[in-house]
Amino acid sequence: MPTSTPFAASCVRTIIGVLIVSIHAAPNVHAQVAVKPARVINYSDENFDRLCFGNMVSTAARAKADRMLQAKTAMMEASITLTTEQRAKLLLAGEIDIQRYFAAFEELKSQWKFGSIPQDFFSAQFPKMRTAALPLMERYKKGLHGEGSLYHKAKQLLLTPLDFKTTEAFTLKRKQQLYRNLIQATIASLDSRLPLTIQQREAVINTILENTDPMDPHDYNEPMLFATLPKLKEVENKLEPLFSEEEWPVVQQFIALAGLRKR
């Protein structure tokens, strides 16, 4: 029986070693191929702010709330005379409303994860996040100093019944007039794209005024056109019968500009 040489024995050991390494390495190679990096979504806390405040970060939203308070008080002073003490108490009450609101907002925001988030986690989190934020979104949109606010309660306590009634009536009338003026300016912009008849122009203006709520004074800080275009969107189905089939696509293109507004 032939005996193996040292060289042959060495080759056999080398081949066996390679086979053993290959057998152990193969599962790891397949595992590396099978594992793919998880997709992530970059969603910052500023994204959440913009969701809640119409493309504004919270600092800008708070500054706007301050303007709302000042404008509302100025509107009141245009109809009645406030003492220095009354004005100071009203502004303090309004500031507390703002502080309470943004404290609730920050508390809600602290409950969510921001940054680089796995896509599946984000897909599960976002609908819950938006649903939880909806009450605050609606509250901000309506204004922080309306009925139920500390500002409104202070107004009822500080003013005489006659003064309260006078300022409420004046504010409503003023809001409606400002709103009409702004709508007229917006329709004039539409008129430059699609010449309207006198009847069409009046019908469009009246349809918007009768089917939408007048805007608060702070909204007039927005660019004129972009401030009112969303109102046209609200009554789009009521406006369509006022135009011919050829005219309506032009009106739709005009209304679609609302999606381009930056607030």
Tokens representing 1 are: 């029986």
- Tell me what pLDDT residue 18 has: 47
Same structural domain for residues 194 and 241? yes
- Tell me what pLDDT residue 230 has: 84
Determine whether 149 is exposed, middle or buried from the number of CB atoms within 10 Å of its CB (0-12, 13-18, 19+).
buried
Q: How far apart are CA 108 and CA 100, in angstroms?
A: 12
Contact 75, 171 (CB under 8 A): yes
- Number of folded domains in the chain? 2
- Tell me what pLDDT residue 214 has: 84
- Tell me what pLDDT residue 262 has: 47
> Strand, coil or helix: what is 216?
coil
Confidence bin at 142 (pLDDT 50/70/90): confident
- Tell me what pLDDT residue 260 has: 64
- Tell me what pLDDT residue 122 has: 87
- Domain end, chosen from 143, 158, 173, is at 158
Q: How far apart are CA 203 and CA 3, in angstroms?
A: 111
Same structural domain for residues 195 and 150? no
Write down the mean pLDDT value for the chain: 83
- Domain end, chosen from 127, 158, 189, is at 158
- Of 32-41, 83-92, 161-170, 232-241, the one with minimum mean pLDDT is 32-41
pTM over 0.75: no
Read off the pLDDT of residues 188-219 as tens digits, 9 standing for 90 and up.
Answer: 989 999 999 999 999 999 999 999 988 765 55
Among residues 160, 56, 55, 58, the alpha carbon closest in space to that of 107 is found at: 58
- 33 within a domain of the structure (yes/no): no
Torsion angle in degrees (nearest 10) through CA of 106, 41, 38, 112? 10
Domain that holds residue 78: 40-158
Among residues 135, 142, 214, 208, the alpha carbon closest in space to that of 171 is found at: 214
Read off the pLDDT of residues 93-141 as tens digits, 9 standing for 90 and up.
Answer: 999 999 999 999 999 999 988 889 898 888 888 899 899 999 999 899 8
Residue 186 CB neighbours (<10 A)? 22
Same structural domain for residues 141 and 175? no
- 26 within a domain of the structure (yes/no): no
The single-letter DSSP state of residue 116 is E
- 20 within a domain of the structure (yes/no): no
Same structural domain for residues 126 and 174? no
- Tell me what pLDDT residue 263 has: 43
Q: How far apart are CA 153 and CA 142, in angstroms?
A: 17
